[in-house]
Structure 1
């Protein structure tokens, strides 16, 4: 049973890293699940400190994941209409089955929000929309780095308990 949980945990790690680039998969949450599965084995003693800390990071990042595109729009001179457009576009882009919808949606949402509701010039609207894309890219990069850190935690736990895990 320990080997099965280890294999499932390792699969979660790989899917989590992949999910840091694919918005359909919650990458860091799946990586955390991989660590949890490892602690369900009989070979690895439960460590509430690691589980609690990594879970707190998952919760904080999950919140920040939806805030970063809006902050990017705001930082590049976007108005409240652009920020609302970014958020609405992000949701629509995630639900729409088009390639790169998670990038196109917020960009178009911010652009439309700025042009239609704030009556700025097109150049300023494009600048604000570009900020939303940069926010999404920053969020994806942070999620990838966190997934790699979780993968490192997973490997270090396996390495520490390899003698009991694989017997």
Structure 2
């Protein structure tokens, strides 16, 4: 039974990391599900108020890192709020419209299209903003990956 529990927990954590590349997957929920599975199979005793406080702070950090990385990437390359929104929509829609490549093309095209339509930018400026969006998205993946890894390492530290 212990093997089954740890297998489920590991699968949940792996799916959480897949959510870094496919933002439609709610990574935080899969990490929390791993904690809950541990509690159900073993015990919730290790999860005191300090554990949950630290994990909630990491969740806030995850959401903040996602938004800030995208915003900095777009703003640094001359983008506007429209570019940020376009990039965000592209991140969510891209993988469904263009499987596999959509994860990279989505935020880029979303920012470019938003800048072209809303602010009537020329194509060169819009592409520059799209590039910034792509850089923001990729830096967000790395940042969130580190935060998620720390969440899981802290969990393992508490339960082992």
Name the TM tier (shorter chain): 0.7 to 0.9
Q: Which moved further from structure 2: 81-90 or 71-80? A: 81-90
Report what 2:100 is aligned to: 99
Q: In the superposition, relative to structure 1, how do residues 154 and 53 fare at CA in structure 2: closer, same or farther (>3 Å)?
A: closer
Aligned residue in 2 for 1:58? 59
2: distance between equivalents of 1:96 and 1:43? 41
CA distance in 2, matches of 1:57, 1:43: 19
Query: After superposition, what is the alpha-carbon deviation per residue over 1:47-106, rounded to whole angstroms, capped at 9, x for unaligned?
Result: 221122212321442354245323321221012332332233233225435213233122
Equivalent in the alignment of 1:23: 23
Partner of 1:165: none
**Deviation digits for residues 121-152 of structure 1, max 9, x if unmatched?**
32222111111111111111112112221231
Matched, 1:9 2:5: no
Alignment size in residue pairs: 159
- Structure 1 runs (4+) deviating above 4 angstroms are 1-4
- Scaled by the length of structure 1, the TM-score of the pair is 0.76
Counterpart-to-counterpart distance in 1, 2:76 and 2:145:
23
Task: Give the number of the structure whose alpha-carbon radius of gyration is greater.
Answer: 1
Is 1:89 equivalent to 2:78 in the alignment?
Answer: no
User: In the aligned structure 2, how far is the partner of 1:70 from the partner of 1:58?
Assistant: 19
- Whole-Å separation in 2 of the counterparts to 1:123 and 1:48: 52
**TM-score (ref. length: structure 2):** 0.79
2-structure distance, mates of 1:43, 1:4: 18
Q: Tell me, what secondary structure is at the counterpart of 1:25?
A: coil
* RMSD of aligned residue pairs (Cα, Å): 2.7
Partner Cα distance (1:3, 1:44) in 2: 20
Q: CA deviation at 1:3?
A: 5.4
Q: Which has the higher contact order (CA 8 A, sep 6+)?
A: 1
